[in-house]
Amino acid sequence: MALEEFEKEELSDREKGYLRMRSIMDYGMGVLWTGMGIFIIFIKKFSMDLADRYDSTAFKIFGIVCIIYGLFRVYRGYKKKYLRDR
């Protein structure tokens, strides 16, 4: 069976539910990671006490990494390519 035929194959109700659940989870986690990244980048506007304890550059780098990972999770939820390895 060629890869094109596998992609056109009809999914069962269980697989559709699995795809829907994973997609919703990826959207939610993507929003949370992106929000956490924004919070960390702008930490001085939210919490001065926490910002004074740690290096500002490290916070910004970690915040950018969180935003990139959050956007990746949203993209993965949008594409829904979870059943490729089966």
Long-range contacts of 13-18 (CB under 8 A, 24+ apart): 15/83, 18/82, 18/83
Supply the angle between the helices 56-79 and 13-41 in degrees, to the nearest 10: 160
CB contact set of 32 (below 8 Å; sequence gap of 6+): 70
Greater model confidence, 57 or 29: 29
CB contact set of 60 (below 8 Å; sequence gap of 6+): 40, 41
Question: What is the reported pLDDT for 4?
Answer: 55
Q: Is the pLDDT of residue 68 over 60?
A: yes
| pLDDT tens digits, 1-54 | 455 555 567 778 888 888 889 899 999 999 999 999 999 998 888 777 777 777
**Are 37 and 64 spatial neighbours (Cβ–Cβ below 8 Å)?**
yes
Greater model confidence, 79 or 86: 79
